[in-house]
Amino acid sequence: MTPFTASAQTEIQWWHSMGGALGDWVNDLAKDFNASQKDYKIVPTYKGSYDESMAGAIAAFRAGNAPHILQVFEVGTATMMASKGAIVPVGQVMQQAAPSSTT
Q: Write out the chain in H/E/C secondary structure.
A: CCCCCCCCCEEEEEEECCCHHHHHHHHHHHHHHHHHCCCEEEEEEECCCHHHHHHHHHHHHHHCCCCCEECCCHHHHHHHHHCCCCCCCHHHHHHHHCCCCCC
| Range(s) of the domain holding residue 39 | 10-97
Which is more confidently placed, 6 or 10? 10
Establish if 20 belongs to a structural domain.
yes
Residue 48 belongs to a domain with what CATH number?
3.40.190.10
Establish if 2 belongs to a structural domain.
no
Looking at residue 103, its pLDDT comes to 47
pLDDT band at 25 (very low <50, low <70, confident <90, very high): very high
Establish if 73 belongs to a structural domain.
yes
Domain count, the chain: 1
Establish if 60 belongs to a structural domain.
yes
pTM of the full predicted structure? 0.75
Q: State pLDDT tens for residues 74-103.
A: 767 777 767 777 777 778 878 888 776 544
Establish if 72 belongs to a structural domain.
yes
Establish if 61 belongs to a structural domain.
yes
